[in-house]
Amino acid sequence: MRIHAYTSFTYCYLNRARVLAATLRKYHPDWVIWAVLSDKEPEGFAIDWGAEDFDRVLTVEELLGERADSWMFGMDVVEACTAIKGVAMKRILAEEGCQKLLYFDPDIALFNPVDNIVNALEGFSIVLTPHQVDFEPTDDKSAILDNEICSLVHGVFNLGFIAIKNDKEGIRFSEWWADRLLDWCYDEKNIGLFVDQKWCDLVPCFFDNVLVLRDPGCNVASWNISQRKMTFDEDGRALINGKLLRFYHFTKLGVVGDAMTMRYAKDNIEIYELWRWYRDAVVSNTDPRIPKKYWYYGNFDNGVEIPRTARKLYRDRSDLKNHFKNPFHVGDGYYGWLESETQILVKEESASGVA
């Protein structure tokens, strides 16, 4: 039996993806670990994948072929890295010998084996983890707003993780998810979408053999620690509510993550120790040759940052997509059309203070 795991990221998140891959390798050395890249190397940086903990690498060009540039242009960086997860899942499940597949966001780290999930895939085709596994106290309106209502808005499942068995139902899910994410993986809460998460609210309705894993030690994060207490046992193993801490989701590393952690970890010192370990691990895996906030697909080929409004206009109009096959190209391409036919670039320059 071969178990595969994958993550999706850009080079700005390579430091975090390295931490994830190292912890996957530590606790599951026999797994096949995949990197899915929605990016291209920055100038002056070349990665030696043979020296990394990843076994296989997939790029958006390999997954989407000739439509890659057109599709990537319609996405911001979060949407792109999220949306490609479905196509990558479908592709990896087609790999010979792949019987079980687990996805982890790149800002996750394992602290104990996830054998409980692997074993669950014997009887289930799909495993999801909810954001919350217990409700907040009625008198804590702030926690209800941050956690329960936030789940209602953004989706009840944390799609930083999902596990799939390579059976009929798992494949059926992967095909549906790939299709929906290719066409509808947008951060547009005004129409009920928050990238991939809201889609998976429908999974228990559409598919059989679905396990909602209410294990407090899985997918622990700053937004759900209000009902989870971290300790260590006598053997030094990390525990959450007395159960093994399987993996922690270190989302929003920085000011936002710190604020949410302080709000809900309170005096749980072990949580802060965990974050300190993660910060050190990320720093030690950071390559200074990768510019901060770098994303190859973030700019037109003249270096001008692509406004979100320009992306949305392009993806919403089939005539533009059909006419401008490579919208990143300046020349007489989409950029020139924007300059002559719209005020989008002018508005963006004015907003940024560019004369």
Q: Which tens digit of pLDDT belongs to each residue from 17-55?
A: 999 999 999 999 999 999 999 999 999 999 999 999 999
- The ranges assigned to domains in the chain are 2-284, 299-351
Q: How much is the pLDDT for 256?
A: 75
* Residue 1's pLDDT band (cuts 50, 70, 90): low
What predicted TM-score, i.e. pTM, was given to this entire model? 0.93
- Measuring CA to CA, which residue among 199, 200, 107 is closest to residue 160? 107
Q: Is the pLDDT of residue 251 over 70?
A: yes
Report the distance separating Cα 253 and Cα 257, nearest Å. 5
pLDDT tens track for 134-155: 888 888 888 888 778 888 888 9
Please write the tens of the pLDDT for every residue from 73-100.
Answer: 999 999 999 999 999 999 999 999 999 9
Residue 349 has pLDDT above 60, yes or no: no
- pLDDT exceeds 70 at position 351: no
Q: pLDDT at residue 230 above 80?
A: yes
Residues 88-102 as b or e (16 or more Cβ within 10 Å = b): bbbbbbeeeebebbb
Average of pLDDT values for 170-177? 98
CATH H-level superfamily of 2-284: Spore Coat Polysaccharide Biosynthesis Protein SpsA; Chain A (3.90.550.10)
pLDDT at 174: 98
Mean pLDDT of 98-118: 98
* Dihedral sign for Cα atoms in the order 298, 304, 309, 313: negative
pLDDT digits (tens, 9 = 90+) for 183-213: 999 999 888 888 999 999 999 999 999 999 9
What amino acid is encoded at 107 in this protein?
D
